Amino acid sequence: MRADRLVAVLLLLQSRGRVTAAEVAVELEVSLATARRDLAALASAGVPVYPQAGRGGGWSLVGGARTDLSGLTRDEARALFLTVGPTATSPRARTALRKLVRALPGTFRADAEAAAEAVVVDPARWGGQEAAPPGLVEELQRAVVSRTRVRLDYASRTGRTLRTVDPLGLVDKDDVWYLLAQTPRGRRTFRLDRIGDLETLDERFERPDGFDLVREWQRVVGEVEARRSLTSATVVVPTRFLPVLRTQFGRHCTDVRELGGGRARCLVAAPAPLDLARTLAGWGAGIEVEGPASVRAELGRIGRELVQRYP
């Protein structure tokens, strides 16, 4: 995992003072290109790492070899943990991050710990969202880490409203971003592509005791997925088209079984029979819906409307 490697590269730099990309590749058992990318990632995250070309060159920490991370400034430490924290999901990576936190000066530790837990990465996109406005993610990351209240100009289904919230964490869901925040009406999730203006207020807040961003996001996903899969349909599709069907329905395409003859049966789900019918109608006769009757009825109705409109 990349988070493990970035931490390992940093510790290698501290112990040796200077390393080449080739040495990093051998030590971590990765390709030379991967070692170069990891070194560049540390530098772009604000870690004081710089390359030196020519004979006897390599990559070094500013100030030479160190046995701790006291060479990092507060902003550099925060940038590092924002980079590696979201992808450090394995127990080994989390242990490495805890060691790095202990190596920081005491005045930096709170910010580093908050940065490491400020973002969750979820690779499965729900679809239909746009990218967050430039700069919005970074501004909200700073608010999460510093525990500073923000005011959002937010576009909900009922119109635009101003919301004053306590930002608890961010989620990167396949490059579509969400903010989990505490509001006067309880905990809420906001899509960043619906935020117009953002104002950081001069007000601090206390994070709820026991709050865990990963666990909270899993709860949100569970609720959303439950609403998105209230109706299921059994379909038979040519096996060669299964990847397309899986792309359309994502995690709501399940229970795939080969039938032989180049066909497969599976279960697809959506909030309502009409939602399923609208998606499946595009397949025409290339897919067979075995049930339920409610989805078949919606497909028949759509078919009759199309024939009437386009005889």
- Domain residue spans of the chain: 2-116, 122-213, 229-309
Rounded CA separation 159/229 (Å): 27
Predicted confidence at residue 55, as pLDDT, reads 65
Query: What tens digit of pLDDT does each residue of 244-282 get?
Result: 888 888 778 888 898 888 999 999 988 889 988 998 998
Query: What tens digit of pLDDT does each residue of 169-187 get?
Result: 888 776 678 888 898 888 8
Q: Which residues contact 291 (CB under 8 A, 6 or more apart)?
A: 233, 234
**Omega before 273 within 30 of 0, i.e. cis:** no
CATH number of 2-116: 1.10.10
Rounded CA separation 42/10 (Å): 8
CATH number of 122-213: 2.30.30.520
Tell me if 2-116 shares its fold with 229-309: no
pLDDT at 68 over 60: no
pLDDT at 285 over 70: yes
Predicted confidence at residue 150, as pLDDT, reads 92
Residue that the structure tokens 């299964």 belong to: 242
Q: Tokens for 153, please give them.
A: 């100009």
Residue 268: strand pairing partners: 233, 253
**Integer Rg of the chain from CA:** 25
Q: How would residue 1 be classed by pLDDT, with cut points 50, 70 and 90?
A: very low
Q: Which residue has the higher pLDDT, 178 or 7?
A: 178
Mean pLDDT over the full length of the chain: 76
CATH classification (class only), 229-309: alpha beta
**Residue 291 burial by Cβ neighbours in a 10 Å radius (0-12, 13-18, 19+):** exposed
Of residues 213, 134, 120, the one with CA closest to residue 173: 120
3-state SS of 9-51 is: HHHHHHHHCEECHHHHHHHHCCCHHHHHHHHHHHHHCCCCEEE
Predicted confidence at residue 37, as pLDDT, reads 83
Of residues 172, 170, 152, the one with CA closest to residue 162: 152
Query: What tens digit of pLDDT does each residue of 21-64 get?
Result: 888 888 777 888 888 888 877 776 667 777 776 666 777 776 54
